[in-house]
Chains A and B, each alone.
Chain A
Amino acid sequence: MRVYAELARRAWQRQRAYGNANLAGLFTNSFFGYIRVVPLMAAFASRPDISGYDRDVAITWNWLAQSLITIVALWGWWDVALTIRSGEVAIDLARPIHYLGYWLARDVGRAAYSTVYRFIPILAVGQLVSGLRWPEAPWLTWPAFMCSLILALFTSFAWRFLLNLGAFWLTDYRAIASLGLVATTFLSGFLVPLAFFPPAIRSILEALPFAAIIQTPATVFLERADGMDLALLLAQQLGWAVVMLGIAHWGAQVATRRVTVQGG
């Protein structure tokens, strides 16, 4: 376990080296948060309630989505694919540690950094710009949100990892995988809350693993589910995290067998 903690710590430190880029990124996220919140506020000028979201909930959802995406890294995370392309993967596989665990630990370190230096500051900006709706039952909501956040990270990590593995088989993996990630921003409820979709589409989207990446933690934070609903929501998210990590593990084994047999 020590080695994974150490890997996570290193990943955190690696992020620190990009301090300036992180600051610029924070500015970008805040700017996009503002651009997106304005039309949303305009939408509520004509209607006080959209699919059960009031103005404050929708605004908070907007800033949550902007800040969550920095943790679940739905934009450009190609670390694994780059090692596959460069052949470095052989070194990683030769290490006496679990391959998927190796990357998961690093991603946790990265995500922890993003939580402190992106997630929290963006929410602070949101509070300043438009005000946020903070949990009314903090003793239940915050712990539940923390669990949901970790599960969201695991689900998104597994999905990104799988997209990265595409580099083992496809020379054009980047185009396809980018498409996969962009689709995820849509399917996860990042661009627009899943609740705003027509009911039939909404129920399909909510059943997919992508909802676990943005929509579920946002729903928990906004206290849109409580009691049994909350438990079921988290259980579903846990289920997806386990299933997705399982698929990623299996994918890694298939892919690495290919490396060891064919030498990459």
Chain B
Amino acid sequence: MTPSSVFLPALYVRLAVARVRGQMRYRVGFLLMILGVFVANAFEFVALLVLFGQVKVLGGWSAHEVALLWGMSQMSFAIAEAFGRGFEGLAPQVRSGEFDQVLVRPLPVFFQVFASAFEAHRIGRFLQGATAVWYARSDPASIPWQASHWTTLIFAVTTGAVIFFATFVLGGAWALRVVDGQELMNTFTYGGTTLASYPLELFSDPIRRAATWILPLAFVNYFPALALLGRVGPPGMLPFGLTPIILAMSAPVVAMTYLGVAVVVWDRSVMRYQGTGT
């Protein structure tokens, strides 16, 4: 008996559609979830604007410039959350033994966890990020954007999403090893977006290095935003003295490398789980 082979991308779409359909059964709840996610992040943004109501610049950055950082970080994170929630919600499944179900199916473990949770309501956060970018663009002092700027933005947001997604994968790998380590991972995922929402140059040296070389948050939005805003960045602070444009262009390479590392760590963690059963 040889069952016909399974085409994974089609299966992903099928599972994602099924999940959204399941959520849509409670239409009001679904819309409220989108609204909730939007408003929750909007509050943080408004709080930032309140601060900017008092000071005109923050470490040399205007409200509009910080809004661009903020919006890019939120949009990237929203996409990563929508696709990577399966890895984030793994800890309780490992604890309850539900994760074992994944191991008795004839599909790659990574794929199954990836496909187990597509969360459409994260669009609420995406829209909030887009609003922040729109606000950033309303700055009369900014240079007019050409098509190339918009391309850069879309490219950067996608790259940033890959970086956050890889962080979720690492978080899932962590959950397979340490049963109650969920909250620690939140520091890197949610803490990461918050950190990336402010100009990186404000933070102390060790944090800045960690956010460039360990969890490459700087490549999510900081370098691309410097390039988009035509800022040169603080003197001596950019790695190897490279210009923001070159750093922004190297972001996809960094993101893919980081994702590759995350997938390897994930596979090793699954193997370890099979060896120890946590």
Contacts and interface: CB of A to CB of B under 8 A. Distances in A.
Direct A–B contact in complex, judged by CB atoms less than 8 Å apart: yes
B213 interface: no
Given A28-B191, A42-B59, A50-B54, A185 B43 contact: yes
Interface residues of A, number: 37
B51 A39 contact: yes
A198 interface: yes
A169 B115 CA distance: 33
A182 B39 contact: yes
Interface string A8-25: 000000000010110011
**Secondary structure at chain B's binding surface: helix, strand, loop or mixed?**
helix
Interface stretch (B79-87, B155-163, B181-189): B181-189
A192 B58 contact: no
B183 A28 contact: yes
A182 B183 contact: no
A46 B39 contact: no
Nearest to A198: B53
A176 B59 CA distance: 37
A182 B43 contact: yes
A59 B39 CA distance: 26
B191 A175 contact: no
Nearest to B178: A20
A187 to B, nearest CB: 9
A38 B36 contact: no
Contacts of B18: none
Contacts of B36: 175-176, 178-179, 182
A198 B51 CA distance: 10
Nearest to B186: A28
Contacts, number: 103
Contact of B32 (A21, A24, A50, A176): A176
B54 A171 contact: no
B92 interface: no
Dominant secondary structure at the A interface: helix
B33 A175 contact: yes
B198 A197 contact: no
A192 B52 CA distance: 11
Interface in B35-81: 35-36, 39-40, 43-44, 46-48, 50-51, 53-59
A35 interface: yes
Contacts of B195: 35
A27 interface: yes
Interface in B166-201: 180-184, 186-187, 191, 194-195, 198
A249 B181 CA distance: 37
A32 B191 contact: yes
B29 interface: yes
A50 B55 CA distance: 8
Contact of A24 (B56, B58, B184, B204): B184
A120 B33 CA distance: 35
Given A38-B198, A186-B47, A27 B187 contact: yes
Interface in A144-201: 171-172, 175-176, 178-179, 182-183, 185-186, 191-192, 196-198
Nearest to B43: A186
Given A42-B59, A47-B55, A175 B29 contact: yes
Contacts of A183: 39, 43
B202 interface: yes
Contacts of A25: 183
B26 interface: yes
Contacts of A192: 47-48, 50-51
A43 interface: yes
Interface of B: 26, 28-29, 32-33, 35-36, 39-40, 43-44, 46-48, 50-51, 53-59, 180-184, 186-187, 191, 194-195, 198, 202-204, 207
Given A25-B183, A38-B202, 8 more contacts: A28-B183, A39-B202, A43-B51, A50-B54, A179-B36, A182-B36, A183-B39, A197-B53
